[in-house]
Chains A and B, each alone.
Chain A
Amino acid sequence: AQSVTQLGSHVSVSEGALVLLRCNYSSSVPPYLFWYVQYPNQGLQLLLKYTTGATLVKGINGFEAEFKKSETSFHLTKPSAHMSDAAEYFCAVTHTGGFKTIFGAGTRLFVKA
């Protein structure tokens, strides 16, 4: 069965510091992996996705993530945090057999001035 684990329900960084949000997944078949961001009172917006090919994926707003099959991880990073990055971030996994996308519990990112 698929599952997604996001380590840390809350992460706080200073403006300009590195952002690292962790995501580990379990899947019996090669997964499709996604990161979404949710701003208050909004739906979710896709940041980036991994399907096949290059394991380092670049997304919007300067975010990127690396698929590491051996570690079953898909951590999200951004070199320099901006105040506007404060939001909730969700890691998600889809695989071919289930016709559904499973989301992690989410990580709320706080950015301090």
Chain B
Amino acid sequence: KAGVTQTPRYLIKTRGQQVTLSCSPISGHRSVSWYQQTPGQGLQFLFEYFSETQRNKGNFPGRFSGRQFSNSRSEMNVSTLELGDSALYLCASSLGLPLNTEAFFGQGTRLTVV
């Protein structure tokens, strides 16, 4: 069974640009969550999608957005990049229901903004 796949693994962007990250969940999983991981802040929740609907979102500015497609694949977009957006972005997939099911994480996309 294939795991969670995130692409690309590494990305370097310039301030002001925008970026799109992709996540393919485990087959059969309908929930995808996104997290931003930085050394000082740990894992910060961005948003969660279930069957193409955003069920919850974290406290991030509107520059951070996401979507989920009918095949459960998800993308997140960050517009007008800032230096502080440099981080490891992790995607996690789960069945979505019941809520006590575990999340499976991808290896992440490391974004560097210069």
A: residues with CB less than 8 A from B are 32, 34, 36, 41-46, 49, 51, 90, 94-96, 98-106
Contacts and interface: CB of A to CB of B under 8 A. Distances in A.
B107 interface: yes
B4 A43 contact: yes
A99 B50 contact: yes
B106 interface: yes
30 contacts: A32-B99, A43-B4, A43-B90, A43-B92, A43-B106, A43-B108, A44-B90, A44-B92, A45-B105, A46-B103, A49-B100, A49-B102, A51-B100, A90-B42, A94-B99, A95-B99, A96-B99, A99-B55, A99-B56, A100-B33, A100-B45, A100-B55, A100-B58, A101-B33, A101-B92, A101-B103, A103-B35, A103-B45, A104-B42, A105-B41
A42 B43 contact: no
B75 interface: no
B108 A100 contact: no
Contact of A102 (B41, B45, B103, B106): B45
Given A32-B100, A34-B102, A43-B108, A103 B4 contact: no
B41 to A, nearest CB: 8
Nearest to B106: A43
Nearest to A102: B45
The interface centre, meaning the residue of B33, B42, B56, B90 with most chain A CB atoms within 10 A of its CB, is B42
Given A43-B108, A46-B103, A51-B100, A100 B42 contact: no
A41 B9 CA distance: 10
